[in-house]
Homo-oligomer: A and B are copies of this chain.
């Protein structure tokens, strides 16, 4: 297996050298105070990255999907109703999980490529006088379509209706790469994973709970043990977990969060926007469109690029892997075959992004699309030259 080229999938991301080394840790006693020296600062750092002063942070040896299940099972009871828009693969999957756990889901069907229809949410919430809706589910960044929704507007819709539902936000592909405001947006449960903005291998579900969400957990009737936040709270108080934690990943997360906070989160967000803008300049130079319907929806972590009708976009992904040893993201669900995706989150530089753009160009030309070699590269170069300041992200130590 060759690891020479960077990956351009929207997570797991390329892992910085220093973070790989922090994860590659010999065994320690996970029931000793040593582990507490990792655990507690990690939780504090994640809270700060979420822009919260009070969220309780829970970190499970699991993935973002496990984080979704943590959100639901700790707060809701069978038969409860939740509201959600279905506008991409990951919102679809979260809705599916709700249904499998015996929840009623009011689904707002939304074209893939669109964001959460907050006007429609506002109407529904206003109509729900009896507060049957217990929770609103929102996917901040649809990784399948490269669409970022406006969570502040979801909160505004809830507030306008004076609706007491909890607000659950899937920030798997946004948190730590794009602005996320747990407190300001009144988020009740935020869900993410280790392998996106935190630049670690997959293996951690990272969730934040508001006080209201924790209060709800006391009467929540859904079954849970592995994902129970109260067991976790008890464990944390003793520098431990209710079971064996993934110590190396936690140690990596400690370094990752320190590195991000040292850089400054606004700088981190600007960096992602800058890299993404270069990729978008390339797409435009190719004469192609993004799946995201309008610029306000463009994701700074992943671009889903529409290919011409009649062309199978998945061929780009398999061709790039086979001929050039480069991984792009394939189209998922309703946009399978219609888009290919360039992930530009996590550990990425202008220089790395240019190699991905150059590779995509070669693949498209190889496969017969009418693309001019070097055109996307030149557009991205122009953008990067004008916006680069200095060597980008630094590894810690």
Contacts and interface: CB of A to CB of B under 8 A. Distances in A.
B352 A324 contact: no
Nearest to A67: B226
A323 B61 contact: no
Interface in A327-349: 327, 330, 347-349
Nearest to A380: B358
Interface in A33-68: 34, 37, 61-66, 68
A366 B349 contact: no
Interface in A48-105: 61-66, 68-69, 73, 78, 96-97, 100-102
A321 interface: yes
Main secondary structure of the interface of A (DSSP, over half): loop
A146 to B, nearest CB: 17
A226 B62 contact: yes
Contact of A26 (B9, B11, B17, B324): B17
Given A5-B349, A324-B388, 7 more contacts: A1-B34, A2-B394, A13-B27, A101-B225, A323-B389, A365-B385, A373-B382
Interface of A: 1-5, 7, 9, 11-17, 20-21, 23-32, 34, 37, 61-66, 68-69, 73, 78, 96-97, 100-102, 193, 195, 201-203, 222-228, 242-249, 321-327, 330, 347-352, 354-355, 358-359, 361-362, 365-366, 372-375, 377-378, 381-382, 384-385, 388-395, 397
14 contacts: A1-B28, A4-B16, A9-B29, A14-B26, A17-B26, A24-B24, A31-B330, A61-B62, A62-B66, A66-B226, A202-B244, A323-B390, A323-B391, A354-B358
